[in-house]
Structure 1
Amino acid sequence: MEQKLYYQDAYLKNFTAELIKQGNDESGRLYAVLSQTAFYPTGGGQPFDTGTLNGVEVLDVEEVEGEIRHYLAGPLSECAEVEGLIDWERRFDHMQQHSGQHILSAAFEELYQYKTVSFHLGKETLTIDLAIENLSSEEAFAVEKLANKVILENRPIVTKWVNKEELKQYQLRKELSVSENIRLVIIPDFDNNGCGGTHPSSTGQVASLKILGWERQKKKVRVEFVCGTRVLQQLEKKHTILQQLTSLLNAPEQEMAGSVQRMLENRKELEKAVEESKERLLTYEASELIGGNSQDLISRVFQNRNVQELQKLARLLVSKADNKTFLLIAENQDKLQFVFARGMLAEGNMKELAGKALAMINGKGGGNDLFAQGGGDKLIPGEQLRKQIEEIILA
């Protein structure tokens, strides 16, 4: 443990060490091993530290077979001494988030006996999974309130190494995953937890905690939250969005929900009106296509019409002329779509006809003898497909 300087002092920002070795792992990544290090390796839900060794960027840190590997952007020159510099902003953020997770998990257990079964520290937010199936807003608010109370009380956060015998003195929040080198992170009269991560010396340095939301994940509830500086980042992000919406909606923040509700209602009314207009236009279009046309076969090629519109138009056509057959084809960029339909008094099998059309365009579709549709690649122009299907019908 002597080589792990982050356990001796979590606030250590720079250090010197001897270069033990450099090498490449199985995937070819270059790494260095030092006589001692303040770089925290990925573990216990906490991400690795970044920074530099003799000015060379540290990209990743892992503990592999008992040695801490610093993965580098380039090789270190062979020298007796290496100077390490920790990215302190990233390290302290991880300290805030990890301690905030301890406090939140302990608060859930303190108030409702809800146990945390997993933890993830992401780049922007954190999550814990609770061994419950539902969480109410009232419960979340009460837990958040208690967590922030503990933070504001600026209680000490104590780290302590214990053996199995000494461990009996503590009531732990969860079972340990190790039986040797046992390290406890303790918030007196609130939380005792086995943990190998880095933490500030007091809860006040976590600054604040905010639950952002939660969702059910199978038989668990996943709670998303942020701590410390990330609370300010979330506030700034949401404040910027609110300012933009205030301007766009021309409404003050407190009236924004009502403005959005009215806008959604207006949108529904507009969508309904547009749909009714489209229906009327399709009715006019169907009447125009039939017109005084005495032919039993009517076909058209359209540009940029989806298959739903073709289907509606085809149904209108056969309802107005039950003795005719209709071939409706649409060219949509590099695709061809079609609907073939016939009235009850017309002859032919539209499903069989569609099968022949699909073979020409490497397509897929289906239907029955009265109504069939499909689509595929634009291997031939729509006009050519129309003529070839007409020839099959008239043959």
Structure 2
Amino acid sequence: MPRRSSPGAAPSWPVGRTSASRPSPAVRSRAFPFSTSLVRRPRTLAELGERGILRSIGRYLDAPSAGLLVAAPGDDAAVWRGDSIVVATTDTMVEEIDFRLEWPGFDFRKLGRRLMAINLSDLAAMGAEPRHALVSLSLRGTLPVADVGRLYRGIAEQAHRYRCTVAGGDLSGTLGPLTLTATLVGRLGSARAMLRRAGARPGWVIAVTGRLGAAAAGLRLLESGARPASRDERAWVAAQLDPTPRIAAGRALVESGIRVGGDISDGLSREVERLVEGTRLGAIIDVERLPLARGLHSKQWLLAVTDSEDFELICAAPRARMRIAQRALERIKVPLTVVGTIDERSGIRFRNGPRMERLNKAGYEHFR
């Protein structure tokens, strides 16, 4: 799931519905039964958080065909059995939350590529090959036609690059923020040959692909209004606006026998938490081993572990298995760096020289 830009000034667009057009309380209670019954006392989304609301609504999402599901809710994408093993994911980007039109050098073509990339990254996080996409856009009528063309051109470029067919979608008008949604469907060779967040064991090593922290540094530069002035700064901004999903790396990890992993779109610390969520295990991350993006100082390591939207992959495995995976990724020129270990003690700790540290903020979470 993508990280969101920091909140700015209140948007100027008008509200699209009047109070007279809203459904009655009775209708709303039928449409949203969890609004009063799932929690002991009234709470806002900000209080409950993304993970809390997902856990709450999960009990309503069972279906008659649930037995066909291979991966339960909580992984990066849904997986079910059909004629082959099908993987599906969806992600949305919202103006003023995920992007701002006034950012220096903003480009609708890159925005289209990014919409596809954040969904492709979820397929990569499962070790799946992309096949088809549906794209749904809510756009304001004042948007120039040329910008819409650039947006779709970026979508098509990213789809073609990864051999993914855009099979359809939806286009609607809005009086509010631009809202862009893509749903991608991919394929796995076997239900046993995929990456899952669950299953890590004590003593296993934790590794990440690529370099970390660039997207967070790029976002801070964009939010400041400054244009990138160096090669490193341009690379940071590119990591935020035009990320590259690790499709080939995901497949290489699976083919190397790695079975535990995901992507790092919500920050390294948050993803490590998810690897041990629901267990009594924890993890130790070595700060000095973190592969920071070029141009970042070692003291800026928090950019890599909190809310950086790097779209790299994380995985855990026995050390010998990880060496096999490292050799496989070397062949496709993607570094795989061991950064820590799964520990029998609960909690995520960071070894920073002689000190052990815990973070107050793990990473990005919607509504918080």
Question: For this structure pair, what is the TM-score category when the shorter chain's length is used for normalisation?
Answer: under 0.3
- Structure number with greater Rg is 1
TM-score (norm 1): 0.18
Bigger relative contact order, structure 1 or 2, given CA contacts below 8 A and separation 6+? 2
More strand as a share of residues: 1
